[in-house]
Structure 1
Amino acid sequence: MVTFLYACVWFAVQYRDYVRPWLAVAILAVMLLWTVFTIWRYRKRSGRTNKLVFADQVLVTALVLLCEFVMSEPSMKNGDPSVVSVWHATAITAAAAQWGLVGGGISGVVASGCNFLIRWTVTPAMWMDTLLMVGTGLLLGMASDTARRSTERLARALRAEAATAERERLARSIHDSVLQVLARVRKRGNELGGEAAELGKLAGEQEIALRSLIATTPPDPTEDGETDFAAQLQVLRTGKVQVSVPATQVMLPEQVGSDLYAVVREALANVERHAGEDAKAWVLLEDLPEEIVLSIRDNGPGIPDGRLDEAAAEGRMGVAQSIRGRIHSLGGTITLDTAPGEGTEWEVRVPRGDGAGPAKRREGGQR
């Protein structure tokens, strides 16, 4: 609105010098309507859409180009303000706020080019206007990017703080009630023996799983979209499942970590379904410079030769799709080591970096 009022002042001063005053009036009227409209739409974040900002760029650029048919040649050569005047910069600020450093810089270059196009002259004042337009776009764009990143960091910090506070509150409540009851059931069941001992064993397993769950903070993706895969695996620890991970964080892209976590869950589910009630499982994560190595081993009866092919033929695609399919989509390899009576061990190797994908797929075999 301030730049529009500034343009109105120069409109009144230069009105008699315009070649087509009626066109100048039309340009000013459109400027007023567009100013009021954008002020109304830009007030809310939902109104600041990419389409509207792009329309802003197109309309303001068109009005600037129309000024060539309004101003006289002497006014152009003297460097007098156009009808649009500094209102032209509003499109640059909108682009910088919406699209950041790149968008603001491009909008400033386009605005400067239009300025040279309608005047067909090069003067120190023109170069100064160019510097101001491009500089404004770059500066406000950089500020917009910085503000956006700061807001995202603050939002993540607030979510993490709220999640931690809620987890601590639940941990205190669970420790004072559920965990103590489970521990009591486990102890009393072992004392009574028989079926009570079996119930006590189950209660002990749930106690371990619950303690692991409330003690592990859920990983929150970083600014680069990575998450701590080691922390994800920690919640799988139970009385029958031991999890060994590096002492340091193992940062992976969120989608990669999610797929690997699903693979481990499916493998452990197979252990629970097919390896017997007394079977135990071990999950080992190794963080190597070039790849991630993940091992899932159990002490069950093993998988007979040809059983996986039979399961796939029968339509049970847990191993074929949930396990092998996910690993191959990440560009990794997966091998199975099993024999009757010797348990089962899956070894997964996934390359690090953005290049992990189908284009770099390495087929894994079964031995």
Structure 2
Amino acid sequence: MPKEPAERVTKVIDDPATPLWRGTIALRIVTFLFAAANVIANQSGYIRPELAWTTLGVMALWSVFTSRAYSSTWGRRWPLVLVDLALTCGLMSLSPLIMSDHQLLTLNVPLITTIWACVPAVALGALGGPAAGFAGGLTVGLSTYLSKGVPSLDLLRDVVLLAGAGMVVGMASATARRSAVLLAQALRAEAATAERERLARSIHDSVLQVLARVRKRGMEVGGEAAELAKLAGEQEVALRNLVAAAPTDSTVDGEIDLRPGLQLLATPRIQVSTPATQVMFAANAAGELTSLVREALSNVDKHAGEDARAWVLLEDLGEEIVLSVRDDGPGIPEGRIASAAAEGRMGIEKSIKGRVESLGGTLELQTGPGEGTEWEVRVFRKGAAR
């Protein structure tokens, strides 16, 4: 049987960098074998061969431990990776005690840890991204310089390779995590769309057909039945908008699509226009903007008359969101807002102006006798320059 979308989401977001950790384990094993061959080949020239074999034994035990740790999520944590870096640099610092001066100055005789020391930089990249991998490579490179004691072109090349390897693995890790998040969002949207389509079919075959029948029959009968038919027609339109509205999507940063909440406000008298693509906005701010529009439309219903129509327009300008609510009612008389606030009626002051101020946006009102009313709200996205 095919996996359910929810199961696939759990599998995707579990640990997207797992292939990189497996590569880190393989690199540790291969580089340890090279380090062992290095000790065997150069032990005759060591001034303390017993310390060399002890160091190699510690490297072997640590390779086994970290291989098991990095193969599970419990080991992929900052404390263990930083201890790995510190232990590697510590073992490398034993090279002057093990190797002769001639070996330290000879370019073709590597330090006791040799290329085994590159693993912590790769692990840091897999865990923390390109910056952590780059810093880990520089740290190992600095430890190499302190152990050698003599700068050289080969040493500089090793530092560049270490830092570059850590950074490249970090970039791959960051890309894997971003891709996993995007895939999880796509799978959630797929599941939500499938459920919405199932509900839409069920509603269309039952509730919508009944409402359409009531509306048609009520208009034919007339009288009070016509009023019921009008209400049934409004509910039919509202229910169709609910079914047709795009499913609400969210991100790990707490952003949601602003369009669905506004699309649900559409009725035969209210037209809602939104972009074809998602308009992602902070979830709390999106809720406040939707409530603001609902309050403005409520004022249209209360004060603009039964035949007044309203239009809601949402625009995404990149750094800011522009939301307009316009009606063709009689307009707001001059001084009416101030007098309503003095009477204790705080609908506009609190529900509209107050919300815009709390979001750090701007509010513009255009109205006049017989000209209708238009509210224009501008709210900047988080981090955008005002």
Q: What is the TM-score with the length of structure 2 in the denominator? A: 0.73
Distance across 1 between alignment mates of 2:225 and 2:98 = 96
Correspondence for 1:265:
291
Contact 1:264–1:296, Cα closer than 8 Å, also in 2: no
Percent identical pairs in the alignment equals 47
Q: Kindly indicate whether residue 36 of structure 2 is the aligned counterpart of residue 8 of structure 1.
A: yes
Q: Kindly indicate whether residue 210 of structure 2 is the aligned counterpart of residue 184 of structure 1.
A: no
Contact 1:275–1:300, Cα closer than 8 Å, also in 2: no
Say which of 161, 185, 193 aligns to 1:156: 185
Seen in structure 2, the aligned counterparts of structure 1 residues 244 and 127 have a Cα distance that, compared at 3 Å, is: closer
Distance across 2 between alignment mates of 1:35 and 1:21 = 21
Seen in structure 2, the aligned counterparts of structure 1 residues 31 and 329 have a Cα distance that, compared at 3 Å, is: farther
> What is the deviation of 1:287?
5.2
> What is the deviation of 1:94?
0.6
Correspondence for 1:88:
117
Say which of 134, 158, 165 aligns to 1:129: 158
Q: Kindly indicate whether residue 311 of structure 2 is the aligned counterpart of residue 282 of structure 1.
A: yes
Correspondence for 2:281:
254
Correspondence for 1:233:
262
> What is the deviation of 1:209?
1.7
5+ residue gaps, structure 2, are 1-28
Contact 1:226–1:252, Cα closer than 8 Å, also in 2: no
Q: Give the count of matched residue pairs.
A: 350
> What is the deviation of 1:74?
2.0
Kindly provide the amino acid, as one letter, of the partner of residue 66 in structure 2.
T
Distance across 1 between alignment mates of 2:343 and 2:58 = 73
> What is the deviation of 1:75?
1.9
5+ residue gaps, structure 1, are 361-367
> What is the deviation of 1:182?
2.0
User: Higher relative contact order at CA 8 Å, sep ≥6: structure 1 or structure 2?
Assistant: 2
1:1-367 correspondence to structure 2 within 5 Å: 1-15=29-43, 17-20=45-48, 23-24=51-52, 27-45=55-73, 47-79=75-107, 80-123=109-152, 125-193=154-222, 196-218=225-247, 220=249, 229-230=258-259, 233-245=262-274, 249=277, 254-255=281-282, 259-260=285-286, 262-269=288-295, 271-272=297-298, 275-276=301-302, 278=306, 281-286=310-315, 292-297=321-326, 299=329, 305-308=338-341, 311=344, 323-336=352-365, 345-351=374-380, 354-356=383-385, 360=386
Distance across 1 between alignment mates of 2:310 and 2:201 = 29
> What is the deviation of 1:355?
2.8
Distance across 2 between alignment mates of 1:327 and 1:65 = 61
Contact 2:325–2:376, Cα closer than 8 Å, also in 1: yes
> What is the deviation of 1:254?
2.2
Distance across 2 between alignment mates of 1:324 and 1:51 = 49
Seen in structure 2, the aligned counterparts of structure 1 residues 101 and 306 have a Cα distance that, compared at 3 Å, is: same
Kindly provide the amino acid, as one letter, of the partner of residue 75 in structure 1.
Q
> What is the deviation of 1:108?
1.7
Distance across 1 between alignment mates of 2:54 and 2:355 = 61
Distance across 2 between alignment mates of 1:269 and 1:51 = 52
> What is the deviation of 1:45?
3.8
Q: What is the TM-score with the length of structure 1 in the denominator? A: 0.76
Contact 1:96–1:138, Cα closer than 8 Å, also in 2: yes
Q: Bigger CA drift: 102-111 or 194-203? A: 194-203
